[in-house]
Structure 1
Amino acid sequence: MKDRSGLLKRLELKEYPQPEVWSLRHPILLCHGFGAIGSLVKPSPLHDPCMWMREHGLWAFAPNIVPYAPIEVRARSWARIITELSQRHSIAKFNVIAHSMGGLDMRYALAHLGIEEKIASLTTIATPHKGTYLADFVRSTPEVLSERIGDIVDWFADNVYIKERNDAFGSVEQLTRTYVQEHFNPSTSEPTNIPLFSYSAAVGKGTNDPLNPVFLFQNNLIHEKEGPNDSFVSVESAKWGEHLGTIRLSHLNQINVQVGTKEAKKRYLEFWTGLVQQLKSRGL
């Protein structure tokens, strides 16, 4: 049996072929960020991480909210969803994992909407806690052009998500470095009794990891002003609370939306596995 062919090795039956079963103390709520790109190819931007968690036996939810709207509007949607899921499934608390702008939404909800007792932990992934130069750049385009583009984006988003009016132009303003650092952060207190974690990410310029050519321009643009980044948010801006590391995935590869290499898919799975394991190790 030592000289089995490669074919026979591939046909070998595993004793436990099903996905490993994991357990956490609290269910997971996945909060997506700005935009509707993910919703064009998936049921929700964070659908893939959610379903992967469910395959491993975890309670996980990845709802859709209004794609383009101010932080306070999106935060109210998350607060409503938390209340609905809590009542529907008798859930006392959630481990919230928020991607990109979703992290700002949840910080606002914790500070202003009275949901602290329902949150066991908050982990943000590539959230612009200090804003992003990409938003600054978009806002610097001629007003006539930017408003016209905003109208087109809003029209599309209003047709794919009909529960709330979209405001792409206004939400981009709230992602600028000036707004986040001078307005949002000073007025958004941090909870003192909830574990707060963050992950940053970097690919492309300043790293040894490739990036889809479509995103090279903005990657270089952000690098010039803020340093290493994932093509949307810089490493320095994403650091917040207890920083758990910098991952080697682009902004869209982090949620398995962008088509990537086999190596990127492997890193994606390793990242989400590690995130779940760190929650488990802390009794969450």
Structure 2
Amino acid sequence: MQRSATTRYPILLVHGLFGFERIGHFELFHDVKDALKTADCRVFVPHLSATHDNEVRGKQLLTQIDSVLRGTGARKVNLIGHSQGALAARYAAALAPHAVASVTSVSGPNHGSELADFLRKALVPGRLPEVVAQNVATVFADFLSLLSGSTTLPQNALAALNALTTEGVGDFNDRFPQGLPGTWGGHGPEQVNGVRYYSWSGVLPAIGLATLDPMQGACRALSQYFMTEGEQNDGFVGRFSSHLGQVIRSDYPLDHLSSLRRSAGKVTGQFDPIDLYVEHAARLRAVNL
């Protein structure tokens, strides 16, 4: 693995739905951040609403990009967004391309999530199930915010769900198409308005020792709700739905959560997803980003 991958611009790791920077001693991006720092990268994790739509979270990200630029003296930042974090990163880059050197989508639902479609249909608008689901999810998000110290950020679970459906992301893409492929399953433009776009993602690995990880078991259970990409998804996002810009690879043996952490059941010689982030930092460095 590359030992020194110092990028020209700082890296911001942008979390997705129900994400956070730190709760107590637990950091969501702990493995990724440590690996990047070991490779001599400057790394920051912005505070965004755990549940809200892409534009609200994107505006929050823009504010924190400004803070990083002021604090470091850098002219731009590299954004690496996991899951819904990719959409917030895309929004920020579309509105402030002068401040963003690159956007990298990791397991991002860039064309929507079939799981979100299923959940949206399961909730009857305006009736008890929708109200109960929104209240439970918002209370959970508020609890995460309280634990992480980000109590001032707004939460809206229903807005988040609507923003992740195929229809919701389709509307978002109409307004912010930068980096999107012109054909389903293809690559998108690698550079738009001076911003480079990249993506990588995975599909559920074959059943084996890796299934010792309970999170992978949950992703495997959720994958049954995919129709279009029934055999090609990570439990939350379909393989081709994740494509953006230069597609590094979209079939790594990774479930949705394993793309930002090492699996609990990891065995010697098993694929390590954290290496991908350091390799990508070296890739950014190679193009002077």
Query: Shared fold (TM-score greater than 0.5)?
Result: yes
Which of 168, 171, 174 matches 1:179? 168
**Residues 193 and 22 of structure 1: CA distance in aligned 2, closer, same or farther (over 3 Å):** closer
Q: Deviations over 1:59-98 (max 9, x none)?
A: 1111231110111110111001000111112121111111
Deviation per CA, 1:126-149: give whole Å up to 9, x if none: 111110110011111243223212
- Cα distance in 1 between the residues matched to 2:224 and 2:140: 29
Determine helix, strand or coil for the equivalent of 2:81.
strand
1:166 equivalent among 155, 161, 170: 155
CA RMSD of aligned residues (A): 2.5
Of 67, 73, 93, the match for 1:90: 73
Q: Which residue of the other structure, out of 254, 278, 281, is the alignment partner of 2:283?
A: 278
Number of residue pairs matched?
Answer: 261
Greater relative contact order, per chain length (Cα 8 Å cut-off, separation 6+): 2
What is the alpha-carbon distance in structure 1 between the residues aligned to residue 78 and residue 242 of structure 2? 19
1:196 paired with 2:197, answer yes
- Give the 5 Å matches for 1:64-83: 64-83=47-66
Residues 127 and 173 of structure 1, relative CA distance in 2, 3 Å threshold: same
Q: Within 1, Cα distance between the matches of 2:258 and 2:72?
A: 31
Q: Is the 8 A contact 2:93 2:103 kept in 1?
A: no
Name the % identity: 23
- Corresponding letter in the other structure for 1:273: V
Which of 219, 225, 235 lines up with 1:221 in the alignment? 225
Rounded to whole Å, the distance in 2 between the matches of 1:264 and 1:155 is: 40
Q: How has the CA–CA distance of structure 1 residues 117 and 264 changed in structure 2, closer, same or farther, with 3 Å as cutoff?
A: farther
Partner of 1:237: 241
> Deviations for 1:207-259, whole angstroms, at most 9, x for unmatched residues?
9895522222211322x322401111111100111111122211111111753
1:101 paired to 2:84: yes
Structure 2 alignment gaps of length 5 or more: 146-150, 179-191
- Decide whether the 8 Å contact of 1:95 with 1:121 is kept in 2: yes
Structure 1's consecutive aligned runs of 4 or more residues displaced over 6 angstroms after TM superposition are: none
| Greater Rg by CA | 1
SS at 2:105 equivalent = strand
Contact 1:197–1:244 (8 Å) recurs in 2: yes
Indicate if the aligned counterparts of 2:198 and 2:248 stay in contact, CA closer than 8 A.
yes
TM-score (norm 1): 0.83
For structure 1, the 5+ residue unaligned runs are 1-18
SS at match of 2:264: coil
How many angstroms apart in 2 are the aligned matches of 1:29 and 1:251?
20
Contact 1:204–1:219, Cα closer than 8 Å, also in 2: no
Q: Which moved more, 1:254-263 or 1:184-193?
A: 254-263
Give 1:155's match in structure 2, choosing from 139, 157, 171. 139
1:10 — aligned with what?
A: none
Q: Do the aligned partners of 2:104 and 2:197 also contact (CA within 8 Å) in 1?
A: yes
Structure 1 CA distance for aligned equivalents of residues 5 and 245 of structure 2: 26
- Between the aligned partners of 2:202 and 2:209, the Cα distance in structure 1 is 11
